[in-house]
């Protein structure tokens, strides 16, 4: 405690306004982790499984948590091992990109599992990518043709360039030494 006591005279309205502005700014800078949901069925085909799993991987790369739901219909609910097998396959496919936050559990007619992005695995993958530059050609690059043409050049373009402008003879006599 200061001796004599120190008192600050201030505008309380301005103080409240500044507090509100600081709180608003901190809320804006906060990272909001959304939760996305992907629904599977026990009898899902391989193409649909791959598409949905790719979408789950994209959600995880964006930093979202993903709730995976297996929807059982009719007598399928008596075989929860089928749903567990699908959820385990999704977790195995995603590998290190995700960590299981909630193990698969039966919730009425649905089986639910929650995956969260694994930040450590993503950081180590990014570090590995910066250390190992690719030695091969880049994807989408067109290989140079064996005919000596530039990429994207038509075969007749080279001949048009070699013709002289005066229309003279294109055969040149060898020079003497």
The answer for residues whose C-beta is within 8 angstroms of residue 98's C-beta and 6 or more apart is 56, 60, 66, 91, 115, 116, 117, 118
Confidence of residue 39 (pLDDT cuts 50, 70, 90): very high
Percent of the chain predicted with pLDDT > 70: 72
The answer to whether position 18 is within a domain reads no
Q: What is the residue range of 47's domain?
A: 35-129
The answer to whether position 107 is within a domain reads yes
Lowest mean pLDDT among 37-46, 81-90, 95-104, 115-124: 115-124
The answer to whether position 14 is within a domain reads no
Structural domains in the chain (count)? 1
The answer to whether position 170 is within a domain reads no
How far, in Å, CA of 70 to CA of 115, rounded? Answer: 14
The answer to whether position 144 is within a domain reads no
Distances (CA, A) of 4 to 7, 8, 9, 10: 10, 13, 16, 19
Q: pLDDT at residue 104 above 70? A: yes
Helix, strand and coil in the chain, % to nearest 5: 45, 20, 40
Q: What is the mean pLDDT of the chain?
A: 79
Quick one: how far is CA 65 from the chain centroid? 13
The answer to whether position 140 is within a domain reads no
| Residue 105: predicted pLDDT | 92
Determine the angle formed by the axes of helices 46-61 and 80-94, rounding to 10 degrees. 50
We report the CATH number of the domain holding residue 73 as 3.30.110.10
The answer to whether position 5 is within a domain reads no
Confidence of residue 22 (pLDDT cuts 50, 70, 90): very high
Confidence of residue 155 (pLDDT cuts 50, 70, 90): low
Confidence of residue 48 (pLDDT cuts 50, 70, 90): very high
The answer to whether position 147 is within a domain reads no
The answer for residues whose C-beta is within 8 angstroms of residue 171's C-beta and 6 or more apart is none
């Amino acid at each position: 405690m200061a001796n004599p006591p120190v008192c600050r005279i201030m505008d309380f309205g301005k103080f409240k306004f500044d507090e509100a502005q600081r709180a608003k700014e901190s809320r804006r800078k906060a990272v909001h982790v959304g939760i996305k949901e992907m629904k599977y069925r026990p009898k899902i085909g391989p193409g649909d499984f791959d598409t949905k799993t790719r979408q789950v991987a994209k959600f995880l790369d964006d930093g979202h948590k993903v709730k995976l739901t297996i929807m059982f219909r009719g007598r399928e609910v008596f075989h929860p091992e089928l749903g567990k097998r699908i959820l385990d396959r999704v977790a195995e496919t995603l590998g290190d990109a995700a960590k299981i936050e909630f193990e698969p559990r039966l919730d009425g007619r649905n089986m639910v599992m929650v995956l969260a992005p694994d930040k450590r695995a993503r950081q180590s993958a990014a570090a590995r990518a910066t250390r190992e530059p690719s030695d091969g050609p880049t994807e989408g690059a067109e290989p140079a043709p064996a005919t000596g043409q530039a990429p994207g050049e038509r075969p007749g373009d080279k001949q048009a360039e070699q013709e002289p402008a005066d229309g003279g003879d294109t055969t040149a006599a060898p020079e003497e030494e």
